[in-house]
Chain A
Amino acid sequence: MTDATAMLDQTKFSASGAFRRKRLTAFAVPAVILAYLLYIAISFDVLGLAKRASLENAGILASDSWSYKVHITRDNRRGGTSSAIEGERKGAYAEGTNPAWVEVADPENVTIDLDDGYVVRFLPDNATVFEIPDFGTITAQLVDGIIQTNLQEPIPDWINLSEQRMTVTTDAGRLSMTRSRTEVYRYFAGWELFWFTLDSPYSGHSLPEIVFGSRIDPTRSNISGAISDFWNNGMWRHKDVAWAIGETILMAFLGTFGAAIIALPLAFLAAKNFSPFMLVRGVARRLFDFVRGVDALIWTVVLARAFGPGPLTGALAILVTDMGTFGKIFSEALENVDEKQIEGVSSTGAKPLQRYRFGVIPQIVPVLLAQVLYFLESNTRSATIIGAITGGGIGLMLTQAIQTQKDWEEVAYYIVLIIGVVMLMDWFSGWLRGRLIGGKDSHGTS
């Protein structure tokens, strides 16, 4: 009896001990995670981030990525008014033409209708009038290089005024006046000139008009002319973007499959059951570990020195890094092959090479192919970032567009393209995997 009670006590004791331990870990794990995150918040200065963060930049990014502005500019030194989309030369309206909402009576007398009652007038002698509903009319004139206005104190916070510069920001548009020029910006939703720039005869025509309508440009057929003008669009650079996307995919493709081709024979050297010499095995394995450890970043930097910027450098960087990874995965797969199949093949009198071809390869191909195709998708992502470093592909275009801090609609366009391409590669590699491996599997079982 006493024995049984003692045992019961002991069990109880150990059970309550286990419970205590469990409870402790249940609290300790979240506590450790919380403490670590707190440490990160302090060492990364997350609180200071609020001060450094630029809400203005966020606003620019948010509005500019889906809208564009048209600049109406008067040259205050030489006179004359011009219109340009985003103020770029590539988006300029031809001499003497203007958007419909700009009325040019004579070069010294321009009326810009910003809708909702907001009207800006450029008048002779560098005078400008801005009619703002519910506020009144602002009159400004440049006299001897100094801006004189009818504005009285207090000046509202949406007007920025000094002797050299005046900026009026309203919902309908913006007016900015300096010594050299007076500019009006009007904002529109959408990506303007995405299809054709203004100098193309197809600009402003709808798709059915171009495809079925009468010939717009007498020298070319509509479809070929439209395609060529779209392709050579100077504003959105569709040709360059397409090449850049192609380069990025090319880097991923060449890198992934090149790595697989090189890694396969080396993997035989590193696999225990195929490589009898420990020295050879060790060398091959250390080689894989080394190239993997050096990492794509350092390989990119090193290879860029030898080959210069471009897609080949990126492809080789992916190739070298993944060769290590594939070598490791392949050799592990080789160590797991079923010896019975090889025995079966050799019992028919097959030579070593034939044994590999018919006994080993069919076993490992599905495993290897699945891995390689999985890497193809992930390398498309790596190729964008490697492109940003070596200078090739869509990664470079994205970095350049972000660094100029101007064309956020282009940044948005590139981001959409990159995500689209990665998802496409994901789908494609999954489809190919299904075709090559799934097909083979069903064939084998049927």
Chain B
Amino acid sequence: MTDAALTGATPSQITQIQESYLVQVRRRRMYGGLTLGIFVLLMVSGFVVADNRNAGGFWAGWHQIFDFPADVLSEAWEKRANLPALMVDFFPALLETINIAAASTLIGAMMGLVLALLSTRGLAKWPRLIPVFRRIMDIMRAVPEIVIALVLIFILGGGPVPAMIAIAFHTAGALGKLYSEVAENADLKAVEGLSSTGATWSQRMWLGVLPQVAPNFLSYTLLRFEINIRASAILGFVGAGGIGAELRNAMSWGPGRFDEAAAIFILLFGTIVFFDQLSSRYRTKMIKGQ
């Protein structure tokens, strides 16, 4: 039909089609260009505003970026004999940071698991409460760790526990959402089979759903652990314990203690890279092993 219509088209019709096509192309290009223009405008004006509100300007500061690392490195190089001993000294603080991350990932993952199963269609114990649990997860996800950490430091005093609770809270919301997306695709036949034997809800979840989704869950959890190590180090800087607190102390001494700062930088960098590699290796293994 279309062939017939095309061959039957007169040249004027063809030019008409061509013209309307070109108009469409031009309009699309204009919209694309307009979007791009607005985006560039936003970026440039945003940069100018940020530059104006910063204490030191970008153009005055950019060539000083490497001054501080150079100072730290040269001082650390002078005192390089101290570095191994310092790294041993700071190792307990590093361990605390890793422990905060691991414990909060573990607790957050367990909370997230329960929240996810309660908010997944087809699996939820109380299907009517699904929206409630989803909103709870949304709010938990939206709370930055620093908010809870600072408030808890006021109540509980400094130390690792406020940071742990803060990170676990956010982790529960973040993992809960990811878990729920995975669990939504779980095969329900196993669950049906179990319920026909009279299994309770927790038995159905534990035996019917978890074995199916475990590799994906573990992979997300490992990724989260890696993120949480960073979060736990940064929370240490604002008042919780661990390597972040040591870094702030070393920094506040200024020159003369830069060998300590360098030792902490090395430890932190090494830890992050190590767990990054570890988690990415095991994650690919888990996903491919399916």
Considering the complex, which residues of chain A in the window 248-283 have a beta carbon less than 8 Å from any beta carbon of chain B? 250-251, 253-254, 257-258
Question: What is the distance, in angstroms, from A303's C-beta to the closest C-beta of chain B?
Answer: 7
Of all chain A residues, the one with the shortest Cβ separation from B147 is A415
Selected from B58, B99, B269, the residue in CB contact (under 8 A) with A298 is B269
Contact call A313/B156, Cβ cutoff below 8 A: no
Q: Mark interface residues in A384-421 (1 if CB within 8 Å of B CB, else 0).
A: 11001101100100110010010000010001001100
Do the beta carbons of A306 and B65 come within 8 Å of each other? Answer: yes
- Stretch in A37-45, A85-93, A110-118, A216-224 touching the partner: A37-45
Q: Which residues of B contact A254 (CB under 8 A)?
A: 43, 46-47, 50
Contact in complex: A36, B230 (CB < 8 Å): no
Closest to A387 in B: B146
Known: A297-B237, A301-B247, A423-B142. A308 touches B56 (CB 8 A): yes
* A313 in contact with B154 (CB, 8 Å): no
Write the chain B residue with the least CB distance to A254.
B46
Q: CB distance B68 to A43 under 8 Å? A: no
Is A100's beta carbon under 8 Å from chain B? no
A294 contacts across to B, CB distance below 8 A = 265, 269
**Residues of chain B within 8 A of A302, CB atoms compared:** 65, 68-69
Cβ contacts A to B, 29 pairs, < 8 Å = A36-B102, A40-B102, A44-B159, A58-B155, A243-B53, A247-B50, A250-B50, A253-B42, A253-B46, A254-B50, A289-B273, A296-B230, A297-B230, A297-B247, A298-B268, A301-B247, A301-B251, A305-B67, A308-B56, A384-B146, A385-B238, A392-B54, A398-B146, A398-B147, A398-B150, A402-B150, A415-B151, A418-B147, A426-B138
User: What is the number of contacts between chain A and chain B, taking CB atoms within 8 Å?
Assistant: 182
A297 touching B268, Cβ below 8 Å: yes
Whether A295 sits at the interface, judged by CB under 8 Å, is: yes
Inter-chain contacts of B247 with A (CB < 8 A)? 297, 301
Q: In the bound complex, what is the Cα–Cα distance between A379 and B237 (angstroms)?
A: 18
Partner of B99, one of A40, A247, A315, A391: A40
Q: 1/0 per position for A303-338, CB-CB distance to B under 8 A? A: 101111111110100000000000000000000000
- What is the chain B residue whose CB lies nearest that of A389? B237
Nearest-CB residue, chain B, relative to A381: B144
- Expressed in whole angstroms, the minimum distance between the Cβ of B36 and any Cβ of chain A is 12
Q: Give the nearest-CB partner of B231 in chain A.
A: A385
Question: In the bound complex, how far is the Cα of B155 from the Cα of A405, in angstroms?
Answer: 11
- Min CB gap B165→A, angstroms: 11
Max count, chain B CB within 10 A of own CB: residue among A44, A61, A309, A384: A44
B164 at the binding interface (Cβ < 8 Å): yes
Q: Is the CB of A315 within 8 A of B50?
A: yes
Q: A40-B99, A419-B147 known; 7 other A-B pairs, CB under 8 Å?
A: A247-B50, A257-B39, A295-B268, A295-B269, A298-B269, A301-B251, A392-B53
Measured between beta carbons, the chain A residues less than 8 angstroms from B58 are: 307, 312
In the complex the two chains form, what is the Cα distance from A312 to B145 in whole Å?
22
* A24 CB–B CB distance under 8 Å: no
* Residues of chain A within 8 A of B42, CB atoms compared: 253
CB-based contact B62/A49 at 8 Å: no
Flag whether A140 is at the interface (Cβ < 8 A).
Answer: no
Q: Mark B51-74, 1 if CB is under 8 A from A, else 0.
A: 101111110011011011100000
| Chain B residue with Cβ nearest A261 | B43
User: Given A312-B58, A419-B142, A295–B238 Cβ distance below 8 Å?
Assistant: no
> What residues on B are CB-neighbors of A44 within 8 Å?
99, 103, 159-161, 164
Residue B256 lies at the interface, judged by CB distance under 8 Å to chain A: no
Contact across chains for A306 and B160 when beta carbons are under 8 A apart: no
Contact of A174 with B by CB under 8 A: no
Interface size range on A against B: 35 or more
Residues of A within 8 A of B106 (CB): 33, 36-37
By a CB distance below 8 angstroms, the chain A residues around B244 are 297
Chain A residues with CB below 8 A from B150, complex form: 398-399, 402
- Nearest CB in chain B: distance from A58 CB, A: 5
Closest approach, in angstroms, between the C-beta of B272 and any C-beta of chain A?
A: 5
Which partner residue on chain A sits nearest B251 by CB separation? A301
Smallest Cβ distance from B61 to chain A, in angstroms? 4
- Which residues of B sit under 8 angstroms from A305, Cβ to Cβ? 64, 67-68
Judge whether B81 is part of the interface by a CB distance below 8 angstroms: no
Q: Is there an interface contact between A293 and B273, defined as CB atoms closer than 8 Å?
A: yes
Q: Is A54 an interface residue (CB 8 A)?
A: yes
Of B54, B151, B230, most A-chain CB atoms within 10 Å? B54
Q: Cα distance A399–B103 when bound, in Å?
A: 25
Q: A308's contact among B54, B146, B151, B156, by CB below 8 Å, is which? A: B54
Shortest distance from the beta carbon of A66 to any chain B beta carbon, whole Å: 14
A309 to B153 alpha-carbon distance, docked (Å): 24
With a cutoff of 8 Å between Cβ atoms, the chain B residues found around residue A419 in the complex are 139, 142-143, 147
Return chain A residues, CB-CB under 8 Å to B96: 43
> Considering residues B47, B57, B61, B244, which has the most beta carbons from chain A within 10 angstroms of its beta carbon?
B61
Contact at A385–B67, with CB atoms within 8 Å? no
Q: Do residues B238 and A399 form an inter-chain contact, with CB atoms below 8 A? A: yes
Known contacts A46-B161, A250-B50; A307 and B155 CB within 8 A of each other: no
> Contact between B54 and A40 (Cβ–Cβ < 8 Å)?
no
Residues in A whose Cβ lies below 8 Å from that of B99: 40, 43-44
**Are B268 and A247 neighbours in the complex by a CB distance under 8 Å?**
no
What residues on B are CB-neighbors of A301 within 8 Å? 247, 251
- The distance in angstroms between the C-alpha atoms of A303 and B67, with both chains bound, is 10
| Minimal beta-carbon separation of A255 from chain B (angstroms) | 10
A385 cross-chain contacts in B, Cβ below 8 A = 144-146, 234-235, 238
Contact partners of A312 in chain B: CB under 8 A: 47, 50-51, 53-54, 57-58
A23 interface contact, C-beta 8 A: no
Can you name the residue of chain A whose Cβ is closest to the Cβ of B235?
A: A385
Least distance between B33 CB and chain A CB atoms (Å): 14
Interface hits, B234-284 → A, CB 8 Å: 234-235, 237-238, 244, 247, 251, 265, 268-269, 272-273, 276
Check if B94 is an interface residue, CB within 8 A of chain A.
Answer: no
> Whose C-beta in chain A lies nearest to the C-beta of B139?
A419
Is A129 an interface residue, CB under 8 A from the partner? no
With A310-B53, A388-B238 in contact, is A293–B276 under 8 Å at CB?
Answer: yes
B193 at interface by CB-CB < 8 Å = no
- How long is the Cα–Cα vector from A43 to B92 in the complex, in angstroms? 11
Q: Which of B54, B103, B146, B154 contacts A37 (CB 8 A)?
A: B103
Beyond A44-B164, A411-B151, whether A247 also contacts B144 by CB under 8 A is no
Q: CB-CB contacts of A44-74 with B at 8 A, as 1s and 0s?
A: 1110010011100110010000000000000
Determine which of A52, A310, A399, A411 lies in contact with B55 in the assembled complex, contact meaning CB atoms within 8 Å.
Answer: A310
State whether the Cβ of A355 lies closer than 8 Å to any Cβ in chain B.
no
Distance from A157 Cβ to chain B, minimum over Cβ atoms (Å)? 23
A422 at the interface (CB under 8 A from B): yes
